């Protein structure tokens, strides 16, 4: 399998974490986030001009969560989405929470505190505060879940955990990790999952 992505991209890191959990290193082609992702030939792989994109023997796929599910099904090893219907539905439930009620709020913080200043704009305190306030509700719900279970979807590490991880990494990077630390069960979970070898590989901290 071949991945066209960028090592700093949150969505690329999700997919790379799945590969690393499977013990497989994909062929990786770097797409620079300087406008290259908005031009051909990348637009033919990812029509929204984002990263990553996946190719597998003529099969093309874009959107990171779809790629994660595909890689999980195609490669041998421990399944990151269980085959049991109830367990799988629970994983999908928490991925839906991530995509609808976690990531949009986290990205407001990340844009306001990190990405906009990188582009020469001032820190956007209004956007940061909006994101932090909205994220509190989700983190409160996650806290209750992680008080009962070691992982987001239950007793096992799954794709649900992976989907949250890149955004939490960047919350700490932009000095807003205190909102995670304020929720002890979430902070404990984060410490455990971020120490996993697969995450260390996906983020370039290990080979």
Residue owning tokens 């991209």: 9
What is the DSSP-derived secondary structure letter of residue 152? T
Q: State the average pLDDT over residues 165-192.
A: 98
pLDDT digits (tens, 9 = 90+) for 54-92: 999 999 999 999 999 999 999 999 999 999 999 999 999
Q: Are strands 27-30 and 2-5 parallel, antiparallel or unpaired?
A: parallel
Where, residue-wise, is CATH 1.20.1050.10 in the chain?
85-196
Instruction: Return the pLDDT at 161.
Output: 98
CATH of domain 85-196: 1.20.1050.10
pLDDT at 158 over 90: yes
- The CATH T-level fold of domain 2-74 is Glutaredoxin (3.40.30)
Instruction: Return the pLDDT at 28.
Output: 97
Show Cβ contacts of residue 41 under 8 Å, excluding neighbours closer than 6 positions.
none
d(CA 13, CA 5): 9
Give this prediction's pTM.
0.96
Q: Sorting pLDDT into bands at 50, 70 and 90, what band is 48?
A: very high
pLDDT digits (tens, 9 = 90+) for 87-142: 999 999 999 999 999 999 999 999 999 999 999 999 999 999 999 999 999 999 99
3-class secondary structure, 177: coil
Q: Sorting pLDDT into bands at 50, 70 and 90, what band is 207?
A: confident
Which tokens sit at 7?
């090592």
Where, residue-wise, is CATH 3.40.30.10 in the chain?
2-74
Biggest CA–CA distance in the chain, Å, is 49
């Amino acid at each position: 399998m071949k991945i066209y992505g960028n090592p700093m991209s949150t969505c690329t890191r999700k997919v790379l974490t799945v590969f690393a959990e499977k013990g497989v290193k994909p062929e990786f082609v770097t797409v620079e986030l300087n406008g290259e992702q908005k031009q051909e030939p990348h637009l033919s792989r990812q029509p929204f001009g984002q990263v990553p994109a996946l190719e597998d023997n003529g099969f093309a796929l874009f959107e990171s969560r779809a790629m994660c599910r595909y890689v999980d099904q195609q490669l041998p090893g421990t399944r990151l989405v269980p085959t049991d219907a109830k367990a799988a539905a629970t994983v999908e439930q928490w991925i839906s929470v991530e995509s609808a009620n976690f990531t949009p709020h986290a990205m407001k913080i990340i844009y306001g505190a990190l990405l906009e200043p990188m582009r020469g704009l001032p820190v956007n305190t209004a956007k940061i505060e909006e994101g932090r306030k909205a994220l509190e509700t989700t983190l409160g719900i996650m806290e209750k879940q992680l008080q009962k279970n070691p992982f987001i979807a239950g007793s096992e590490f799954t794709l649900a955990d992976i989907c949250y991880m890149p955004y939490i990494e960047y919350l700490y990077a932009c000095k807003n990790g205190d909102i995670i630390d304020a929720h002890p069960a979430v902070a404990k979970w984060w410490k455990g999952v971020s120490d996993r070898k697969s995450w260390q590989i996906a983020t370039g901290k290990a080979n």
